[in-house]
Chain A
């Protein structure tokens, strides 16, 4: 799937923390464009939602580096506990989705939370989404992306280790 990152309230979307880190308010949406051999808006529990900048699963020109020069994300603070209620583990259109950013993998995990089936009151355990087709359709996550830009290593054409 293509994960689209869009600055929120530009040009008031950036915070400088003073220690080299950059904070950027953004919202994340998904579309049906296939990126990284993952088609449509299907969640991939193997690769999750990687935010690796190259190549990643993000649409071209819509990475944190493209917008803010962020090469490595330290943390993503999501606004609210979850976003839309489009999908749950079983694929039924119930519950909400809880995003979690894992720094070591530079990836966002999505967990289904909330009700299930005809019983929207009884909570289900937070479990990572499965590969249900179109599970990510209409999801919107508002967030603060905190990261840092690291200069590229000269002469190598590759990113410096960090």
Chain B
């Protein structure tokens, strides 16, 4: 297995401009859509990285950062696997990787929040979510 490259594409405002802002402490934020490619397989060793659509560059190169501090999700990843439910993304700054956690129903059983098991196939459909990426 390998790292899942999650494509990030800028969410544009009404004038077609990307939404970005900078705080006084230097931290910036960008609103993006995250897309997990079809037929991805999750690895608990490699997890997920953020790349950017269209430019063949990673998120850091496009936005001029080496360090993503945090990712706040406005919506979670809809997921048909494991019963109906969603996947929750958790950004680990020290790894610079996104972890995927189960979060939702699987039939009538309780599905506690936990990282996806190794080698979980994420299905043949594109999975998307919107998030705000905080970076320096």
Contact = CB atoms under 8 A, between A and B. Distances in A.
Interface in A1-41: 8-9, 12-18, 23, 25
B105 A115 contact: yes
B18 interface: no
A153 to B, nearest CB: 27
B24 A18 contact: yes
Contacts of A8: 70
A144 B23 CA distance: 14
B75 A81 contact: yes
A80 B88 contact: yes
B85 interface: yes
B134 A95 contact: no
A47 interface: no
Interface stretch (A54-62, A66-74, A82-90, A99-107): A82-90
B3 interface: no
Nearest to A14: B25
B112 interface: yes
B90 to A, nearest CB: 6
Contacts of B113: 83-84, 138-140
Contacts of B69: 9, 12, 15, 25
Contacts of B89: 79-80
A17 B105 CA distance: 38
A9 B92 contact: yes
A9 B94 contact: yes
B108 A94 contact: yes
B25 A80 contact: no
A139 B27 CA distance: 29
Given A96-B103, A114-B104, A120-B83, A86 B110 contact: yes
B25 A120 contact: no
Nearest to B72: A79
Contacts of B85: 85, 120
Contact of B90 (A13, A81, A142): A142
Contacts of A16: 23-25
B33 to A, nearest CB: 15
B93 interface: yes
B14 interface: no
Given A12-B69, A12-B93, A120-B108, A17 B88 contact: no
Contacts of A96: 86, 103-105
Contacts of B67: 12
A95 to B, nearest CB: 7
16 contacts: A18-B25, A25-B70, A79-B73, A80-B76, A83-B88, A84-B112, A85-B85, A85-B110, A96-B103, A96-B104, A96-B105, A115-B84, A120-B83, A120-B104, A140-B113, A142-B90
